Amino acid sequence: MKDTSNRQLEKSNFISKESIVVIKKTLFELGNKREAYDYFVIEQEYTIYELKRNNSNLWIFFKFSPLLLDKYISHFGTQWYRVFLWMVIFAFLSTLSYFFLYSCDGDFFNTMVKLIFPLKLFGIESKSIENIDLWFISVVRIISAYLVWQFVRAFRIDTKIF
């Protein structure tokens, strides 16, 4: 007799996506949110697998790309610390590239805060900023806003579990 207690929870263990959804809904109804979110992750991975298998349509790309981004940024909204790490890495690299591209002098930390602060998306302080600089700042702030949204989403899911 085989020992099945060491089996990992993977998408290959399920026949269809519907079986994963039924188990996930049942776990949510029973109040077992930790395991329900584990099944949610498997459901999303199964969706990615199905989209890879049926790659005949352009619209699949628009469904596939956000799922992959969500998988690698926040593990489908279940790991806030992963998003925080991405935020720190992105803030450092964008500020470093800003310093190299525009040869700025000044305080690195203050420039990082001014550059990535997503609530100041359209509020540029100086009137002498060139168009390429404006595009760079806008793209950085849009990506920062997306990362903040992912962080809040993942943190809320993680705190609801307990």
pLDDT of residue 1: 40
CA atoms of 84 and 98, how far apart (whole Å) = 21
Q: What is the pLDDT of residues 82-127, one digit of tens each?
A: 999 999 899 888 888 877 777 666 777 777 777 776 555 455 555 4
- Percentage with pLDDT > 90 across the chain: 9
Alpha carbon 1 to its chain centroid, in Å, reads 42
> What contacts 28, CB < 8 A, 6 or more positions away?
36
pLDDT of residue 162: 53
Closest CA to 113 of 133, 136, 95, 86: 95
Q: How confident is the model at residue 144 (pLDDT cuts 50, 70, 90)?
A: confident
Q: What is the pLDDT of residues 47-71, one digit of tens each?
A: 888 888 776 666 677 778 888 888 8
Q: Is the pLDDT of residue 40 over 80?
A: yes
Is 143 within 8 Å of 90 (Cβ atoms)? yes
Is 28 within 8 Å of 39 (Cβ atoms)? no
Q: How confident is the model at residue 4 (pLDDT cuts 50, 70, 90)?
A: very low
Is 79 within 8 Å of 63 (Cβ atoms)? no
Long-range contacts of 13-17, Cβ-Cβ distance < 8 Å, separation of 24 or more: 14/42, 14/46, 17/43, 17/46, 17/47, 17/50
Q: Is the pLDDT of residue 156 over 80?
A: yes
